[in-house]
Amino acid sequence: MNHADLDDASARHLQQRLHDGLGQCLSLAAMQIDQAAAVPEAETLRCARALLREALQELRSLISSIGHPDADPIEPDLPGRLDACVRRLNTLQAIPVSCTIEGLPLQLSPQACEILLGATRELLVNACKHGEAVGVDARLSILPHRLSITVTERCGATACQAQQRPAAPGQGSGLRSTRQGLSQIGARLRWRNSGPGGVQARISWVPQ
């Protein structure tokens, strides 16, 4: 059976499984390989990293090709999918991540849901990369006419004694893509210092 034989509901289900399951596992594996590959003699890990990036690119291409062109790619349930994302992060890496969801459900388009979830996932993984972090807190706040998502990195005693880090991190390719994606729906990403040694990223969005 090829993906043209799938009905819309089956296609959306398969997309969501690939995107939120396998895709996230590969992303976290890439994060851990990135950390290990920083060692100068880790040539084997650098080769593995390149292969993993290629696999991620192929997976994303497959996800985008599944289903009918006019079908919603994945159900736009941002609170539920954010909660599932955090639970999976907690099973795949050592830094504890919490998730708080406040407010009433908000009707989102599939595009807005995908962009907001993808940006939050990128911020969470980026926060977990920092060696100083002892925990990461995600908070989704939904008000009648606006939405905000914060990702706050909590740091340990070593970071508390160290000099405060810049609020805005370096602009790697992942964060550049995050900003570009958010701009498509008019959302903004800002950074600020949060507690001794910590950093908080905030996504703000006013639906049009």
| Tens-binned pLDDT, residue by residue, of the chain (208 aa) | 455 556 666 676 676 667 666 776 777 777 667 767 677 767 767 767 776 777 776 777 676 666 544 444 455 689 998 998 898 888 777 889 999 999 987 888 888 888 898 899 889 988 887 656 789 999 999 988 899 999 999 886 555 544 455 545 555 556 777 888 899 999 999 999 877 778 899 999 998 7
Cβ neighbours of residue 103 under 8 Å, at least 6 residues apart? 140, 141, 142, 143
Q: Looking at residue 86, which CATH number applies to its domain?
A: 3.30.565.10
Helix axes 110-129, 23-36, angle to 10 degrees: 30
Total-model pTM: 0.67
Alpha helices in 95-140 (DSSP H): 110-129
Q: Are residues 33 and 111 in the same domain?
A: no
Cβ neighbours of residue 72 under 8 Å, at least 6 residues apart? 8, 12, 110
Q: Are residues 56 and 95 in the same domain?
A: no
CA dist 136 and 47 (Å) reads 30
Closest by CA to 23, choosing from 55, 45, 51, 68, is: 55
Please, what is the end-to-end C-alpha distance for the chain in angstroms?
40
Q: Are residues 30 and 82 in the same domain?
A: no
Q: Are residues 54 and 88 in the same domain?
A: no
Whether 127 and 159 have beta carbons less than 8 Å apart is answered as: no
The token pair that represents 185 in the structure block: 């729906």
